[in-house]
Chain A
Amino acid sequence: MPFVSGLKCRECAREYAAEALNVCDFCFGPLEVVYDYATISEVISRQRIAQGPLSIWRYHDLLPANSDDPVDIMAGFTPLIKARGLGKKLGLRNLYIKNDSVNPSFSFKDRVVSVAATKAVEFGFETLACASTGNLACSVAAHAARAGIDAVVFIPSDLERGKIIGAAIYGPTMVSVHGTYDEVNRLCSEIADNYHWAFVNINMRPYYAEGSKTLGYEVAEQLGWRIPDHVVIPSASGAMFTKIWKGFNEMACLGLLDGVEAASFGADQNTAHHPAVTTRMHMTQAAGCSPIVTAWEAGQSQIRPVRPDSIAKSLAIGNPADGIYSLRVINNSGGSAYAVPEEDIVDGIKLLAETEGIFTETAGGVVVSGLKNLADSGAIKPDELTVVYITGNGLKTQEAVESVVDPVLIKPTMTSFEEALEARRGR
């Protein structure tokens, strides 16, 4: 861990050693990783990055875990695709899709869990744990299997079968909790306090969250070391949203972007904003769970927690830990926030599938419908370089789109086939 100086409270700035901690003992504020950027700037270069593996670990100088032997199932370095079909439909000529649905466990969670699992092994933990409604459980179980340590995943008892199997196959201890969302939340928080386990998004959270920065690095590298005019991102806790912004600013401050002079990070590494980073950060949430959007629309600096009621379960966090920080990113970047009506989520999934051949989960439906809103409203101009983040795979939420299944039924004869084909075409 050569480039990490320690942890620092985001609220009161108290400093701590880089240990398995996530909140400040004094004010209970969240802790963030502090880097030794002076040393990083001496070693990092585009060449050094390009020589790294085709995974998030190519950016190891900017990750808070020891990269000598990472817990790596090859998360990251996912495709950035020029979206000609979707772009044509929306009137956007310079649109790209960052397709993170093709990660090893089929969601962006592999990025954050790879960092958390590596850190957990470094700290000597023998159990990796999480509470999840799907993607996180799959990723934690997969990484624990790779690391050869135990996994304990807590899931709500009404979780869809596909997600249960997607996590169970890796052999974790799976605890199905029968209770309300709030009860499951409180129980898992209490368990995390009482068991010496590495809960990826609790005591490992400062390290875990940093994995999302790679979504910013990769887009910049894949665009030829430049950053987009706009990014459109689905949000739950808000952590990924703030970390993509941080990733862009780190690259700029370290002089890795084309035509951008290196600059100081200033007193607070987490709010560093290089003037060359002009990307507008657009957040999308599902209307059934949109506490950050609601606060942004009302011009408030606080988040009012909500009880999630959305088909986009991977975005259903009613009390988002990074809500207030993501509001600041939206405002500092000149971005926006939009709550996608629940009935538009499936339309977004279908639109992406039919124009680009990518099958995304409900979170992807949210972000595509959000992108459509931005294009229709003129907030994104036709030639502006825009990246939309697709963070999970459609195979995980098949229930949401079951209505698309409508096969042509025929008898085993040519006549029957041709009659059916004509009838279908005549619709």
Chain B
Amino acid sequence: MGKQRVKFTFTGILVKDPIIYGLGRDFKIVTNIRRADVQEDVGWVILELDGEEAEIARGLEWVSSTGVRVDPISGDVIEG
């Protein structure tokens, strides 16, 4: 089992989609929201995912495929 901290960013109509619900329903992952700011056409959620490493990777791949952006919680770690 492992834990991963991630940030999801939703834009446009994706704001209305129950992505986090889907992640918990379709994958063996426990989602734990810590902070969020959701507005009409943009929103982000910072959460912790708990599950098998491979399952988390599979789940995040699915989240990305929906168009939701997945990032490390501290923003980009690559710098100039």
Question: Are B5's CB and A317's CB within 8 A?
Answer: no
Query: Residue B18 at the A interface, CB < 8 A?
Result: no
In the assembled complex, how far is the CB of residue A366 from the closest CB belonging to chain B, in whole angstroms? 11
Task: Knowing A300-B42, A304-B11, say if A205 contacts B74 (CB, 8 Å).
Answer: yes
Question: Are B9's CB and A305's CB within 8 A?
Answer: yes
Q: Which residues of chain B come closer than 8 Å to A392, judged between CB atoms? A: 80
In the assembled complex, how far is the CB of residue B12 from the closest CB belonging to chain A, in whole angstroms? 10
Question: Are B75's CB and A319's CB within 8 A?
Answer: yes
Q: Which residues of chain A come closer than 8 Å to B72, judged between CB atoms? A: 185-186, 189
What mask results when residues 24 to 43 of chain B are scored 1 for a CB within 8 Å of chain A, else 0? 00000000001101010011
Query: Residue A6 at the B interface, CB < 8 A?
Result: no
Q: Which residues of chain B come closer than 8 Å to A313, judged between CB atoms? A: 80
Query: Residue A64 at the B interface, CB < 8 A?
Result: no
Query: Residue A321 at the B interface, CB < 8 A?
Result: yes
What mask results when residues 168 to 189 of chain A are scored 1 for a CB within 8 Å of chain B, else 0? 0000000000000100111011
Question: Are A321's CB and B5's CB within 8 A?
Answer: no
Instruction: Give A260 to B24 CA distance when docked, in angstroms.
Output: 56
Task: Knowing A28-B34, A28-B35, A302-B44, say if A321 contacts B75 (CB, 8 Å).
Answer: yes
Query: Residue B19 at the A interface, CB < 8 A?
Result: no
Question: Are A134's CB and B77's CB within 8 A?
Answer: no
Query: Residue A195 at the B interface, CB < 8 A?
Result: no
* A-side interface residues, number (CB < 8 Å): 49
List which B37-80 residues lie within 8 A (CB) of chain A. Answer: 37, 39, 42-44, 46, 48, 69-80
In the assembled complex, how far is the CB of residue A239 from the closest CB belonging to chain B, in whole angstroms? 9
Identify which of B9, B42, B77 gathers the most chain A CB atoms within 10 Å of its CB.
B77
Question: Are B74's CB and A189's CB within 8 A?
Answer: yes
Question: Are A28's CB and B79's CB within 8 A?
Answer: no
| B residues in contact (CB < 8 Å) with A | 5, 7, 9, 11, 34-35, 37, 39, 42-44, 46, 48, 69-80
- 9 closest A-B pairs by beta carbon, nearest first, are A314-B80, A321-B75, A189-B72, A131-B78, A136-B79, A317-B76, A319-B76, A27-B35, A319-B75
Q: 27 A-B contacts, Cβ less than 8 Å apart?
A: A11-B35, A23-B73, A27-B35, A28-B46, A30-B74, A130-B79, A131-B78, A132-B78, A132-B80, A136-B79, A154-B78, A156-B78, A185-B77, A188-B77, A188-B78, A192-B77, A236-B79, A304-B9, A304-B42, A313-B80, A316-B80, A319-B7, A319-B75, A319-B76, A320-B76, A321-B76, A322-B75
